[in-house]
Amino acid sequence: MDLLDRHDLEPRRALGQNFVVDPNTVRRIASLARIGSDDRVVEIGPGLGSLTLALCETGAEVVAIEADRSLLDPLAETTKHTRTRIIHADATELTWSDELDGDGWVLVANLPYNVGTPLVADVLDFVPKVSRLVVMVQREVADRLIAGPGDDAYGALSVKVASWATGRRLCSVPSTVFHPRPKVDSTVVELTRHIEPAVPGDVDRGHLFALVRQAYGQRRKMMRASLRGVVDTSQFESAAVRPEARPEELALADWISLTRAVWR
């Protein structure tokens, strides 16, 4: 709060800015993320740098990506004398390969609610240098990221995550630790990238997720209805997928089988 006052700043709603103002919360996140001095961490949306500082206290090297130019000076003030490199950029437009050298990076971030979902999906899809993600998002998004077949929150995003990573819930974060205080609670989740691809090389991801998107576009319908004209009865039988099933009943392995049956 003092930094905001001294720099005559206010959180910008258009950018989804909600700053964590409780030092115990950010230290807990850094601890749960299992960050140590040998780690290289990329943080998206560091804001005033409270989480950045907690990450730096572990001895880790940190690359902080901040889109809001007005926050660069207070962020630099917070992180002076630390191993932090600040990049002024929009993470949704960043050429990651130019900024991260080598593999094994850990992404740790309090993600803005308005871009959290696409950012996680894009990093999983296009930034293999990031081997693990520890992200704080609104609780409903966290549920979708780590849901499995049969869970109420299980959907297309859950299938996307399962194709790249294993997810787990780390902790809940109340709205009271933020400024301004959001109307929803948050959850920290960890997504660990699979060592071996969960989607085999003979299965086209574009085809697989075309099926997923079409089915979830009419998720309350049976698969034979939502995929009519795309998947026929013999292909359902070949994939061992019931035509009467609904998409939230299918695990990643089922989608893989169905993709193989349609594009063999």
Do the Cβ atoms of 205 and 43 come closer than 8 Å? no
pLDDT of res. 2: 57
Exposure string (b/e) for 205-241, b if CB count within 10 Å is 16 or more?
eeebbebbebbbeeeeebbbebbeeebeeebbebbeb
CA 130 centroid distance within chain: 11
pLDDT of res. 70: 85
Which CATH fold topology does 205-262 show?
A: Helicase, Ruva Protein; domain 3 (1.10.8)
Same fold, 2-193 and 205-262: no
Q: Which of the pair, 1 or 104, is modelled with greater confidence?
A: 104
Phi, psi of 238 (to 5 degrees): -60, -35
Those residues with Cβ within 8 angstroms of residue 248's Cβ, 6 or more apart along the chain or in another chain: 149, 150, 151, 154, 155, 219
Architecture of the structural domain at 2-193: 3-Layer(aba) Sandwich (3.40)
Q: How many CA atoms lie within 13 A of 25 on its CB side?
A: 20
> Mean pLDDT over all residues of the chain?
91
Give the C-alpha separation, 108 to 85, whole Å: 15
Q: Would you list the domain boundaries of the chain? A: 2-193, 205-262
Taking only the tens place, the pLDDT of each residue in 169-228 is: 999 999 998 876 778 889 999 999 999 999 999 999 999 999 999 999 988 899 999 999
> Hey, what are 43's tokens?
């943080």
Q: How many CA atoms lie within 13 A of 183 on its CB side?
A: 2
pLDDT of res. 3: 52
pTM of structure: 0.91
Taking residues 228-254, report their average pLDDT.
97
Taking only the tens place, the pLDDT of each residue in 18-61 is: 777 889 999 999 999 999 999 999 999 998 889 999 999 999 99
Q: How many CA atoms lie within 13 A of 178 on its CB side?
A: 23
